[in-house]
Homo-oligomer: A and B are copies of this chain.
Amino acid sequence: MPDRRYDVLGIGNAIVDIIARCDDAFIRHHGLDKGHMHLVDAGRSAQIYRDMGATIEASGGSAANTIAGVASLGGRGAYFGKIADDAFGKIFRHDIHSLGIDFGSLPVAPGGPPTATSMILVTPDGERTMNTHLGACVLLDEADVDQAKVAAASITYLEGYLFDRPAARRAFRLAAKYAHAAGRKVALTLSDGFCVDRHRAEFLDLIRGSIDIVLANTAEIMSLYQITDFAEACQRMAADAPLAAVTRGAAGSLIISGTQRLEVAPEPVPRVIDATGAGDLYAAGFLFGVARGAPLATCGVLASLAAAEAISHIGPRPQSELAKLAAARGVGIASVHQGR
């Protein structure tokens, strides 16, 4: 078996976030569903941008944020995602490379679609509502899946958002096949309640056949099984996947493994400034812990503290070194088993 060069390899939509604060009336006026991700075309994207307040730009993309979190925790990451060779593409590439993450996906050819952007509206409660124009992301396909890198990653992590495009879905399944052929694990995040609604049957089929670790929030797991009883949804999840972690907002999270249920307390934060990246960073802490063979309770603590850092500022990626925060909480990389 080749050396495990990476703790986590992420595959996802490579996006630059364009973030502004707004009030709830703005969300209603634009007919948006608060807290969700909306796919928008270039015209709608431009319309929302025109009406938005002053912005901050930062590299984003769900799985890319997770890999950034893994790197910030001291882990080794790799990423597949499609950018264009434009200003936002250069920002995305710079930021992911600056974290020491292996990112070699070729940009789309000149004249192709632009690097994806997500107009993110942050309401006073800290909740974020996203409007994503996929641009270059739509060109990610099986050719972007580098088998050697997948085989060298302890965990290959797939973003549910990729299910919105058939070519990406095929890339997704190919990566899972390569990972399992190399004896590695495959993780999936359900990404968004609406995304689950759009692809429920395929998600269930994939989870039952190919997924070792599921990341989800309460709304997503309820939507997946179309039931309103949380305990029952967890029961179903336990039957479908060997390991799952379900985030519950301010109530913390629940780790599910067979008959085991491990409640994880949230890490306290003075105020939620911007929820963007909370789930992505939870996944970073959890998957880094699992990749290093840490006990599930430790994985939960790593997940919670990474999520807490993400929501305490504007922007989806860590602004403090998570490895230091983890060390201060007694769950630093030195105390996590180096599972090679």
Please give the residue numbers on chain A whose beta carbons come within 8 Å of chain B beta carbons, in ascending order.
20-21, 49-50, 52-59, 68, 86-88, 91, 94-96, 98-99, 313-315, 317, 319
Q: Is the CB of A54 within 8 A of B21?
A: no
Please, how many angstroms separate the alpha-carbon atoms of A58 and B58 in the complex? 9
Contact of A94 among B55, B58, B86, B313 (CB under 8 A): B55
Q: List 10 A-B contacts (CB under 8 A).
A: A52-B98, A53-B98, A53-B99, A55-B91, A55-B94, A55-B95, A56-B56, A57-B58, A57-B91, A87-B87
- A156 to B94 Cα, complex, angstroms: 38
Does B86 lie within 8 Å of A319, measured CB to CB? Answer: no
- Which residues of chain B are within 8 angstroms of A86 by Cβ–Cβ distance? 87
The residue on B at minimum CB distance from A318 is B54
A50-B94, A52-B98, A314-B314 given; name 14 further pairs at CB < 8 Å: A21-B319, A49-B94, A53-B98, A53-B99, A54-B94, A54-B96, A54-B317, A55-B59, A55-B91, A55-B94, A56-B58, A86-B87, A87-B87, A313-B314
A57 touches B54 (CB 8 A): no
In the bound complex, do residue B57 and residue A56 qualify as a contact, i.e. CB atoms below 8 Å apart?
yes
CA distance A314 to B314 in the complex (A): 8
Residues on B with beta carbons closer than 8 Å to the beta carbon of A21: 319
Contacts of A94 in B (CB 8 A): 49-50, 52, 54-55
Contact B56 A315 (CB under 8 A): yes
Chain B residues within 8 Å of A88, by CB:
87
Evaluate contact between A54 and B98: CB separation under 8 angstroms. Answer: yes
Interface centre among A88, A99, A314 (most CB of B within 10 A): A314
Cα–Cα, bound, A319→B86 (Å): 28
CA distance A255 to B95 in the complex (A): 42
* A319–B68 CA distance with the chains assembled, in angstroms: 24
A52 / chain B contacts, CB cutoff of 8 Å: 94, 98
Interface centre among A21, A68, A91, A99 (most CB of B within 10 A): A91
A91: B residues at CB distance < 8 A: 55, 57
Q: Return chain B residues, CB-CB under 8 Å to A96.
A: 54
**A91–chain B nearest beta-carbon distance, Å:** 7
Closest 6 A/B residue pairs (Cβ): A87-B87, A57-B57, A54-B95, A56-B58, A53-B98, A54-B98
